[in-house]
Amino acid sequence: MRHTDEQIEQAVQHFAQLADMLDPETVEVDHTGDLREIAASSEAVRADEVRLQEAVQLARAHGRSWNQIAVALGVSRQAARQRFTSTTQPRTSPA
């Protein structure tokens, strides 16, 4: 199940609040550094995904083919097109 950016951001904020409330003197938790790293890594992945989508949109706006984009991504043309078609503006063909 894919989560929206808003859902991910809410989860990150919720975790940060919970982690800040933990008192090592009263809670049986050694540390939360590993969980904070997971949250930070998740946020970085989300930000990189947004950058990638924007880069693909820009390449399409500049007239790049799905084949060229696929080569840059290291995937098949079909995989690139399926993944990013919903995030790019449809190209109009001449009538």
**pLDDT tens per residue, range 40-70:** 999 999 999 999 999 999 999 999 999 999 9
Residue at 93 is within a domain: no
Residue at 94 is within a domain: no
Contact, 19 vs 32, CB < 8 A? yes
Phi first, then psi: what are they for 3, rounded to 5°?
A: -105, 150
Range of the domain at 9: 5-22+30-87
Residue at 95 is within a domain: no
Contact, 67 vs 76, CB < 8 A? no
pLDDT at 30 over 80: no
Which are the contacts of 33, defined by CB distance < 8 A and separation ≥ 6? none
Residue at 92 is within a domain: no
pTM above 0.95, yes or no: no
Q: How many domains does the chain have?
A: 1
- Element housing 16 (H / E): helix 5-21
Q: Report the chain's C-alpha Rg in angstroms.
A: 20
Residue at 38 is within a domain: yes
